[in-house]
Amino acid sequence: MGFGKNRVVITGGAGFIGSHLCVKFLNDGWEVVAVDTFHTGQKNNIEPLMKNPRFEILRHDIVEPLRCEGDLILNFACPASPVHYQSNPIWTMKTNVLGTMNMLGLAKRTKARILQASTSEVYGDPHQHPQTEAYWGNVNPIGIRSCYDEGKRAAETLCFDYHRAHGVDIRVVRIFNTYGPNMAIDDGRVVSNFIVQAIRGDDLTMFGDGKQTRSFCYVDDLVDGIFRFAHTDGATGPLNLGNDDEFTMLELAELVVAKVGSKSKVKFAPLPSDDPKQRRPDLTLTKSILKGWAPKVKLAEGLEKSIPYFREASKRSLLKH
């Protein structure tokens, strides 16, 4: 690839996926500039990197223009769990629209390649299953999730308009449910919720009847896919990234309780508005473009790798309170 191992700017670099990307690029010899507001990003996630001379952190909100240079930009700045993105929906939309415009403007000025983190939420509550990249989705434009769902759809639009109008070198990835170390324990996502509740011996909160499905990707597999796509010439995406093994929420709950060794039961609650009933990526296009990439970590193994992190994070949380 043209730019070699120089400098990568990772917005949302203290977040769950962003912090893993920082490690991946540092290990590959890059200089890494992480940009974060620390609104949902965690200092614990990047603390081990602070002694590395090739790593720096900027506290900055990309809703404001960023003056920084890099050969590659990874735009991962946005709250990604319903609890967080709904807590300030207007800021979420600004991050997706104004923030993405600012990062695309930076890529245009510096002639950097930019990889935009989109989401499977662009498919909404899908009428097509599994979801291919050609599917336009079924999204409520005025619902409580719209700041994120429609915000990410608008971010994709901006990427392709900057690509067509200004020749910006874009990559768009649609990320499906991902889990692993460095997740915030209070982010309200189902894997972190279930693990933390099981560790504490609380009942697992099951929204709806538990028959809705998701596909869960371990973070290392996702980061490997992102890294490969960032280095791939001649393909803009959008590209699905995730794991195509599909589980019901009840199956996930059962597996978490078994792996934690908990006696937790399941308690049912109403399904939130616009919550998708099923979600699984079609990875045909992804595997044809990212030669040799496929999700390797099965859910049972990924949970075993993740649970020790959640035990430690839960202890830290209790000490704070």
Segments forming the whole domain that contains residue 132: 7-179+218-242+275-295
Closest CA to 106 of 52, 12, 54, 170: 170
Q: What is the pLDDT of residue 1?
A: 40
317 domain residue, yes or no: no
The domain tally of the chain equals 1
- On average, the pLDDT of the chain sits at 95
* Average pLDDT of span 171-180: 97
Which of 85, 148, 179, 218 is an active site residue? 148
* DSSP code of residue 210: S
Residue 148 is among the residues annotated as catalytic for this protein: yes
**CA pair distance 115, 229, nearest whole angstrom:** 8
**CA pair distance 115, 70, nearest whole angstrom:** 12
11 domain residue, yes or no: yes
Decide if 8 contacts 31 (C-beta within 8 A).
yes
Q: Any residues with CB less than 8 A from the CB of 167 and at least 6 apart, and which? A: none
Closest CA to 148 of 115, 111, 112, 99: 99
CATH number of domain containing 38: 3.40.50.720
* Average pLDDT of span 71-83: 93
236 domain residue, yes or no: yes
61 domain residue, yes or no: yes
Backbone angles phi, psi at 231, to 5 degrees: -95, 5
Instruction: Report H helices in 72-145.
Output: 82-87, 89-94, 100-110
Q: How many residues does the chain have?
A: 321
**CA pair distance 307, 302, nearest whole angstrom:** 9
pLDDT digits (tens, 9 = 90+) for 87-120: 999 999 999 999 999 999 999 999 999 999 999 9
223 domain residue, yes or no: yes
206 domain residue, yes or no: no
Name the percent of the chain lying above pLDDT 70.
97
20 domain residue, yes or no: yes
pLDDT digits (tens, 9 = 90+) for 141-156: 999 999 999 999 999 9
pLDDT bin (cut points 50, 70, 90) of residue 317 is: confident
Six token digits for residue 45: 């996630």
pLDDT digits (tens, 9 = 90+) for 187-220: 888 999 999 999 999 999 999 999 999 999 999 9
42 domain residue, yes or no: yes
Task: Please report where in the chains the tokens 């044809």 appear, as a residue.
Answer: 288
